[in-house]
């Protein structure tokens, strides 16, 4: 007792002992290396306790003393937080889908299925909310980082006053890790120049294995271990990230278990599946193809899924399907034979990706069981960070990068050229939005649409054998991804901190759903009674069973026209009673105008409270909006050494501008082929290289066309200056500020010169307006990942000439006063 009392006194003196004695858990003898303690947790990191030994003139007359090791409360579970990508409610078998997801089935069978879990309707906003417990605008992620703007709710910066669940659990003694997709690093902080404070290892995750950004080529990903780029796929044909990250997670858990088996873990497992590109292995494509799941088309699929959902009880028996949206998606029986063949292939590859991803998740869960730790592991498995993506458009696409550049209706005859390689490293594929609508059954709409449940309703299963005894139970309480953090903290017995690193913390905005774990509370009223939704101007409010929502005026693939200039007021309101209309099919706004006005006021109050204002309905325009990346304010860039891996968000952007790229090289006597400069890759980008001794500049126009400037003569040994000069004809991205796209994607003339002599010149009738391939980098001296022209070379294609200096100069267009006046007048005329 004396030892325990001395320890408590020491902890109290350091501010660690602030709770009643019964709450503090101390083990071992005071001052001994084996002693452990829980902490109050109000201040992180926890202050070091006062030294409890004695110090005299020499060690023999002194008494050593070690501070106790910080541990979570006794019995705190391991936590496995899983979320897949771009997957709607009707995708997995667990919630009535036709695609087998046995890992999610397993979690549901041993635990609970939640039928009213919600996302934000878009990737990184949902992920920011998930790891902080705050609404996505509160966390700075009103949209994805690549669309960030200079407003608090939209700047893609998770503030230091919003510590993540990883940081909280780490400082309370958990081992924390993150595997897979991280879409919460600001695009302007993703380079090796840092800062790394908003990378996983800077936000409380001690180990990270994954990619930064929204999507990744699963065959050749832009992959990191902590902050170091790695290439585990090199020399390994058929390597795939879905398998690779599961292998790495299993290895990590086994190492942790061998080194410190009593340390609880928090593992955040968020694969890129099933975001485009859909990249499953051939084994899974063959398995799904043999099942013939999609031969009858998307309307029949919808009916099958709803029937399954009713059998499982994951929708009410009176749930109805809304009408098929014939105005934007053709009925199956109107599709041509070639279209049906292509569409079935698209769906089978997507389904294979779903099943493959779930199988790898199952391997991680099995590894936990093999270690004997499954009983006290809380598994939260959320199917999708938003509804199924429709960004492939009505026809699908072999190259998602084409969509982001406004090419969303590639003819079927063009797509059929990629039929045999669909889903392989030769495509960056996405499926028809017809399947996306069906996979969100029983709801309407899809990813990006925050006002309708097809965009925000996710299936979730939760298991914890030691703490949830109602195995196989259903829960219908309203929940949102912001509720996950407070749930984990309650279950772990860890409080939300008041201060982290000396910064006062903003309140957690979610509501714990741990009360639903008790079978006695299976039908208890929801404790999360009000929740706003907003994404790119589309918005809604849930309140006590009612859903007030704006009418959808833009399909997700319609991202390149003028945006609604007044999305707060220039909208049509719809009203649904979700207690009686689970699938949001009966609009009651006309019968209940008073309720509409009441809920509008609540939405406006929530919007002001959580940084939702100012509303912005623009989509593509925000992709090229100015933001504080490393190139901001600069027009000249000089490189004198080889360098690879600079992300698109931190490199000079050659779109919608005039530019001059000059390479000063020395060609050896043996010749000097190789890459001088490249950005992007197989699916969109440019390359400046020497091929067979001749200089080349090449633009890859989303893998559909390649424009090449090439010297006719082989470069002689010695020094040369090679220049590519491009004069852009358009007004530039400045027109987007006026809700006008006329300045982007314009024509221009390129000229290739050697030692001051023109060797090739040609006109580009159009240029890429928005992006290169996001998951590829800006490389000097060699080419990482995929190349811009497989017919010319294969990466890394290192430059064997000596690069003395590479200079990139930008001459960005500036709007004249006359241009501004004209554009402003045109914008006002549209209001």
What are the pLDDT digits (tens) for 709-739? 999 999 999 999 999 999 999 999 999 888 8
Long-range contacts from 414-423, C-beta under 8 angstroms, 24+ separation: 414/704, 415/342, 416/338, 416/341, 416/342, 419/341, 419/342, 419/345, 422/345, 422/346, 422/349, 422/398, 423/277, 423/278, 423/279, 423/280, 423/285, 423/349, 423/352, 423/353
Strands 694-701 and 684-691: what pairing? Answer: antiparallel
Q: What is the 3-state secondary structure (H, E, C) of 698-763?
A: EEEECCCEEEEEECCCCCCCEEEEEEEEEEECCCCHHHHHHCCCCCCCCCEEEEEEECCEEEEEEE
At residue 11, the pLDDT reads 39
Q: Is the pLDDT of residue 386 over 80?
A: yes
Is the predicted pLDDT of residue 829 greater than 80, yes or no?
no
Residue 739, pLDDT score? 87
Residue 164: predicted pLDDT: 98
Question: What is the reported pLDDT for 8?
Answer: 40
For the residues of 341-383, what is the DSSP string, one character each? Answer: HHHHHHHHHHHHHHHHHHHHHHHHHHHHHHTT-STTEEEEEEE
Strand-by-strand arrangement of the 43-44 sheet: 43-44, 499-500, 503-504
Annotate 659-683 with b (16+ C-beta within 10 A) or e (fewer).
bbbbbbbebeeeebbbbbbbbbbbb
Give the per-residue pLDDT at 7.
40
Q: Do the beta carbons of residue 23 and residue 57 sit within 8 Å? A: no
What is the predicted pLDDT for the residue at 465?
Answer: 98
- CB neighbourhood size of 336 (10 A): 10
> Where does the pLDDT of residue 549 fall: very low under 50, low under 70, confident under 90, or very high at 90 and above?
very high
Average pLDDT, the chain: 95
The fraction of the chain above a pLDDT of 70, given in percent, is: 97
Please name the residue ranges forming H helices in 506-624: 593-609
Average pLDDT over residues 570-575: 97
13 has a pLDDT exceeding 80: no
Q: Are 478 and 525 within 8 A, CB to CB?
A: no
Q: Give residue for tokens 């700075």.
A: 140
Instruction: Assess contact for 808 and 652: CB atoms under 8 A.
Output: yes
Bin 396: left if φ > 0, else alpha if -120 < ψ < 50, else beta.
left
b/e map of 31-69 (b: 16 or more CB within 10 Å)? beeebbbbbbbbbbebeebeebeeeeeeeeeeeebebbe
Quick: pLDDT tens for 442-468.
Answer: 999 999 999 999 999 999 999 999 999
74 beta partners: none
Could you tell me which residues are beta bridge partners of residue 179?
Answer: 209, 269
Distances (CA, A) of 336 to 412, 413, 415, 488, 590: 10, 11, 14, 50, 40
CB 378 within 8 A of CB 462: yes
Strand (E) or helix (H) holding 122: none
CA gap 597, 801 in Å, rounded = 70
Look at residues 654, 662, 813 and name the one whose alpha carbon lies nearest to residue 751.
662
> Where are any strands of DSSP class E within 470-627?
473-475, 479-480, 499-500, 503-504, 530-535, 538-543, 546-550, 573-577
254-292 pLDDT tens trace: 999 999 999 999 999 999 999 999 999 999 999 999 999
Distance between CA atoms of residues 474 and 690, nearest Å: 63
Q: What is the average pLDDT across 306-322?
A: 98
Contacts of residue 825, defined as CB under 8 A and 6 or more positions apart, other chains included, come to none
Residue 831's pLDDT is what?
Answer: 61
pLDDT at 630: 82
Residue 281 near residue 360, CB atoms below 8 Å = no
Whole-angstrom Cα distance, residue 12 to residue 231?
49
Q: What confidence tier does 704 reach under pLDDT thresholds 50, 70, 90?
A: very high
CB atoms within 10 A of CB 789: 19
258 burial via Cβ count (<10 Å: 0-12, 13-18, 19+) = exposed
Query: Can you tell me the mean pLDDT for 380-390?
Result: 98
> How far apart are the C-alpha atoms of 718 and 711, rounded to whole Å?
17
C-beta of residue 428 within 8 angstroms of C-beta of residue 347: no
Closest CA to 127 of 184, 205, 86: 184
Tokens for 820?
């501004």
Find where tokens 């501008």 sit.
Answer: 657
Q: Measure the CA–CA gap between 582 and 586, rounded to whole angstroms.
A: 10
Instruction: Determine if the pTM surpasses 0.85.
Output: yes
């Amino acid at each position: 007792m004396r030892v325990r009392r001395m320890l408590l006194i020491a902890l109290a003196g350091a501010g660690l002992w602030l709770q009643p004695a019964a709450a503090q858990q101390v083990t071992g003898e005071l001052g001994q290396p084996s002693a452990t303690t829980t902490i109050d947790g109000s201040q992180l990191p926890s202050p070091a306790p006062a030294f409890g030994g004695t110090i005299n003139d020499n060690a023999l007359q002194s008494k050593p003393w070690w501070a106790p090791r910080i541990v979570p409360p006794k019995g705190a579970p391991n936590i496995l937080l899983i979320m897949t990508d771009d997957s709607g409610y009707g995708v997995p078998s667990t919630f009535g889908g036709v695609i087998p997801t046995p890992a999610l089935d397993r979690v549901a069978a041993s635990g609970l299925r939640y039928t009213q879990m919600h996302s934000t309707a878009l990737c990184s906003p949902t992920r920011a909310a998930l790891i902080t417990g705050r609404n996505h605008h509160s966390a700075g992620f009103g949209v994805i980082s690549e669309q960030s703007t200079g407003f608090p709710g939209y700047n893609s910066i998770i503030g230091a006053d919003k510590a993540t669940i990883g940081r909280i659990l780490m400082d309370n003694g958990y081992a924390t890790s993150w595997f897979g997709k991280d879409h919460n690093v600001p695009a302007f902080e993703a380079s090796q120049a840092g800062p790394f404070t908003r990378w996983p290892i800077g936000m409380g995750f001690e180990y990270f294995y994954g990619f930064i950004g929204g999507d990744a080529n699963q065959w050749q990903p832009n992959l990191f271990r902590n902050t170091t780029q790695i290439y585990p796929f090199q020399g390994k044909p058929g390597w795939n990230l879905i398998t690779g990250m599961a292998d790495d997670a299993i290895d990590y858990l086994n190492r942790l278990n061998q080194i410190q088996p009593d340390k609880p873990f928090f593992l955040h497992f968020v694969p890129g599946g099933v975001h485009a590109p859909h990249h499953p292995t051939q084994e899974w494509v063959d398995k799904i193809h043999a099942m013939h799941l999609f031969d009858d088309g998307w309307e029949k699929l919808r009916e099958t899924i709803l029937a399954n959902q009713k059998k499982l009880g994951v929708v009410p028996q009176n749930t109805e399907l809304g009408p098929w949206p014939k105005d934007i998606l053709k009925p199956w029986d109107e599709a041509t034979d070639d279209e049906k063949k292509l569409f079935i292939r698209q769906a089978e590859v997507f389904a294979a990706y779903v099943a493959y991803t779930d199988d790898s998740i199952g391997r991680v869960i099995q590894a936990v069981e093999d270690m004997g730790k499954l009983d006290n592991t809380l598994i939260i498995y959320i199917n999708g960070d938003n509804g199924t993506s429709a960004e492939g458009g009505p026809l699908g696409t072999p190259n998602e990068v084409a969509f982001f550049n406004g090419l969303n209706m590639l003819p079927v005859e063009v797509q059929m050229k990629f039929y045999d390689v669909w889903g392989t490293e030769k495509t960056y594929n996405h499926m028809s939005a017809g399947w996306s609508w069906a996979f969100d059954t029983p709801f309407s709409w899809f990813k990006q649409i925050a006002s309708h449940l097809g965009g925000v309703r996710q299936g979730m299963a939760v298991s914890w054998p030691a703490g949830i005894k109602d195995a196989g139970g259903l829960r219908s309480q309203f929940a949102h991804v912001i509720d996950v953090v407070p749930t984990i903290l309650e279950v772990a017995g860890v409080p939300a901190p008041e201060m982290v690193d000396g910064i006062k913390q903003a309140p957690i905005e979610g509501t714990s759903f741990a009360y639903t774990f008790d079978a006695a509370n299976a039908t208890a009223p929801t404790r999360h009674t009000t929740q706003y939704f907003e994404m790119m101007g589309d918005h809604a409010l849930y309140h006590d069973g009612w859903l007030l929502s704006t009418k959808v005026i833009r399909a997700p693939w319609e991202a390149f026209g003028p945006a609604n200039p007044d999305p707060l007021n220039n909208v049509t309101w719809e009203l649904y009673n979700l207690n009686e209309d689970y699938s949001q099919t009966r609009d009651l706004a006309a019968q209940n105008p008073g309720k509409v006005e009441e809920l509008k006021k609540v939405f406006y109050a929530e919007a002001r409270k959580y940084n939702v204002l100012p509303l912005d309905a623009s989509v593509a325009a925000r992709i090229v909006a100015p933001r504080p990346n490393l190139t901001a304010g600069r027009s000249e860039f000089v490189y004198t050494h080889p360098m690879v891996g600079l992300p698109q968000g931190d490199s000079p952007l050659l779109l919608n501008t005039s530019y001059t790229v000059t390479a000063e090289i020395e060609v050896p006597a043996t010749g000097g082929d190789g890459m001088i400069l490249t950005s992007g890759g197989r699916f969109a980008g440019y390359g400046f290289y020497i091929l067979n001794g001749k200089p080349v500049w090449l633009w890859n126009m989303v893998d559909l066309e390649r424009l090449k400037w090439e010297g006719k003569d082989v470069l002689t040994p010695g020094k040369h200056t090679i220049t590519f000069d491009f004069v852009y004809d358009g007004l530039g991205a400045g027109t987007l500020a006026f809700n006008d796209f006329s300045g982007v994607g314009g024509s221009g003339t390129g000229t290739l010169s050697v030692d001051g002599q023109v060797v090739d010149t040609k006109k580009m009738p159009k240029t890429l307006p928005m992006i290169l391939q996001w998951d590829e980098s800006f490389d000097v001296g060699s080419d990482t990942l995929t190349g811009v022209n497989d017919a010319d070379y294969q990466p890394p294609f290192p430059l064997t000439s000596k690069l003395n200096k590479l200079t990139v100069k930008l001459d960005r267009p500036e709007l004249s006063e006359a241009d501004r006046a004209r554009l402003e007048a045109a914008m006002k005329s549209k209001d």
